[in-house]
Structure 1
Amino acid sequence: MSLDGLEKKKTIDLRQKHIGPSCKIFFSHDPIKIVKAKGQYMYDEKGQRYLDCINNVAHVGHCHPDVVKAGAEQMGLLNTNTRFLHDNLVLYAQRLQATLPDKLSVCYFVNSGSEANDLALRLAWQYTGNKDIITLENAYHGHVSSLIDISPYKFHQLSDAEQSQFVHVAPSPDVYRGKYRADHPDAATAYADEVKDIIEKAHIKGHKIAAFIAESLQSCGGQVIPPVGYFQQVAEHVRKAGGVFITDEVQVGFGRVGSRFWAFQLQGDDFVPDIVTMGKPIGNGHPMSCVVTTREVAEAFMSSGMEYFNTFGGNPVSCAIGLAVLDVIEKEDLRGNALRVGQYLTNVLEKQKQKHPLIGDIRGRGLFVGVELVKDRVKLTPATAEAQEVIYKLKEQHVLLSADGPHRNVLKFKPPLCFTTEDADLVVEKLDSILTGICLLAADVLRMRSEVLCCYFLHSRVGGSVRLEGKRFGKYRT
Structure 2
Amino acid sequence: MANGFDPSTLDSLAPEMRAMVQRRNSVLAPSYRLFYNEPVEFVRGSGVRLFDSHGRSYLDAYNNVPAVGHANPRVAQAVCEQMSRLNTHTRYVTLPVIEYSERLVSLFPEELGQVIYACTGSEAVDLALRIAKYETGRQGVIVTRHAYHGTTTEAAAISPSLGPHRPTVRWVRYVDAPNPSVEGADAGTLFAARVRQAIAELEADGTGFAAFIADSIFSSDGLQADPAGFLKPVVDAVHAAGGLYLADEVQPGFGRTGDAWWGFVRHGILPDLVILGKPMGNGMPISGVVGRPKVLERFGNDMRYFNTFGGNSVCIAAANAVLDVIEDDHLLDDIARIGRLLGEGLRNIARDYPVLSEVRGAGLFYGVDVTAAPESQEADQDGAERIVNALRERRVLISSSGPEGNVLKIRPPLVFSDADLEEFLDNFRAVMEDLSK
* TM superposition score normalised by structure 1: 0.85
Aligned equivalents of 1:325, 1:39: Cα separation in 2: 13
Which AA in structure 2 matches 1:370?
Answer: G
Map 1:243-262 onto structure 2 (within 5 A).
243-262=243-262
Give 1:164 shift: 2.0
Tell me if the contact between 1:139 and 1:221 (Cα under 8 Å) persists in the aligned partners. yes
Map of 1:34 onto structure 2: 42
Aligned residue for 2:366? 369
Contact between 1:219 and 1:251, CA under 8 Å: does it hold in 2?
Answer: yes
Q: Hey, what does 1:181 align to over in structure 2?
A: 183
CA distance in 1, matches of 2:156, 2:128: 14
Q: Which runs of 4+ in 1 moved over 6 A?
A: none
Structure 1: distance between partners of 2:292 and 2:400: 36
Amino acid at match of 2:35: F
1:79 is aligned with what amino acid? N
Question: By how many angstroms is 1:121 displaced?
Answer: 0.2
1:270-309, Cα deviation, whole Å (9 max, x unpaired):
x2100000111100111111111111111120343x3111
The match for 2:153 among 142, 145, 167 is 145
- Distance in 2 between residues matched to 1:316 and 1:151, nearest whole Å: 31
Q: Report if the CA contact (8 A) 1:386-1:438 is conserved.
A: no
CA-CA distance at 1:373 after TM superposition? 1.0
Deviation at 1:30?
2.5
Contact (CA 8 Å) 2:62, 2:399: kept in 1 or not? yes
The answer for the alignment partner of 1:166 in structure 2 is 171
Residue of structure 2 in register with 1:15 after alignment: 24
Counterpart position of 1:53: 61
Residue 43, structure 1, aligned to residue 40, structure 2:
no
- Whether the 8 Å CA contact 1:173–1:227 is kept in 2: the answer is no
* Cα distance per residue 1:11-49 (max 9 Å; x no partner): 32331111111210112x521110000000000011000
What aligned pairs does 1:375-386 form with structure 2 within 5 A after superposition? 375-376=372-373, 378-386=375-383
The counterpart of 2:329, out of the listed 318, 329, 332, is 332
1:275 is aligned to 273
- 1:25 and 2:37 aligned: no
Give the structure 2 partner of residue 231 of structure 1: 231
Calculate percent identity across the aligned residue pairs. Answer: 37
Residues 114 and 143, structure 1, Cα contact 8 Å, conserved in 2: yes
Aligned-residue offset at 1:162: 7.5
Q: How far apart, in 2, do the equivalents of 1:203 and 1:316 lie?
A: 43
Q: Secondary structure at the match of 1:224?
A: coil
Structure 1 counterpart SS, 2:143:
strand
Match of 2:284 among 283, 286, 299: 286
Matched, 1:98 2:95: no
Which position in structure 2 is the counterpart of 1:404? Answer: 401
CA–CA distance in structure 2, aligned partners of residues 273 and 226 of structure 1: 19
Whole-Å separation in 2 of the counterparts to 1:148 and 1:227: 29
Is the Cα contact below 8 Å between 1:402 and 1:412 reproduced in 2?
A: yes
Matched residue type, 2:421: A
Q: Distance in 1 between matches of 2:232 and 2:361?
A: 20
Q: State the SS of the aligned residue for 1:81.
A: coil
Secondary structure of the 1:230 match is coil
Provide, for residues 367-390 of structure 1, a one-character-per-residue CA deviation record: whole Å limited to 9, x for no partner.
011111112454411121111011
Q: Tell me, which stretches of 5 or more residues in structure 1 are unaligned? A: 1-6, 441-478
CA contact (8 A) 1:41 1:50 kept: yes
Alpha-carbon RMSD across the aligned residues, in angstroms, is 1.6
Residue of structure 2 aligned with 1:347, choices 344, 349, 361: 344
Shift in CA distance, 187/30, structure 1 to aligned 2, threshold 3 Å: closer
Contact 2:180 2:186 in 1 (8 A): no
The CA distance in 2 between the partners of 1:122 and 1:129, in whole Å, is: 10
Give the secondary-structure state (helix, strand or coil) at the position aligned to 1:58. coil
Is 1:424 matched with 2:421?
A: yes
Q: Secondary structure at the match of 1:382?
A: coil
Aligned partner of 2:241 in structure 1 is 241
Which residue does the alignment assign to 2:191?
191
Q: Secondary structure at the match of 1:381?
A: coil
Note if 1:122 corresponds to 2:130: yes
Residue 298 of structure 1: SS of its match in structure 2? helix
In structure 2, give the amino acid aligned to 1:362: V
Amino acid at match of 2:236: E
Give 1:204 shift. 2.4
Paired with 1:51 and 1:228, the residues of 2 have a C-alpha distance of 30
**Matched residue type, 1:30:** E
Distance 1:134 1:279 in 2: 21
**Is the CA contact (8 Å cut-off) linking 1:88 and 1:320 kept in structure 2?**
yes
SS in 2 for 1:247: strand
User: Tell me, what secondary structure is at the counterpart of 1:375?
Assistant: coil
Give the whole-Å Cα distance in 1 for the aligned partners of 2:246 and 2:154.
15
> In the alignment, what sits opposite 1:218?
218
Point out the more displaced range, 230-239 or 34-43: 230-239
What is the CA–CA distance in structure 1 between the aligned matches of 2:273 and 2:167, rounded to whole Å? 28
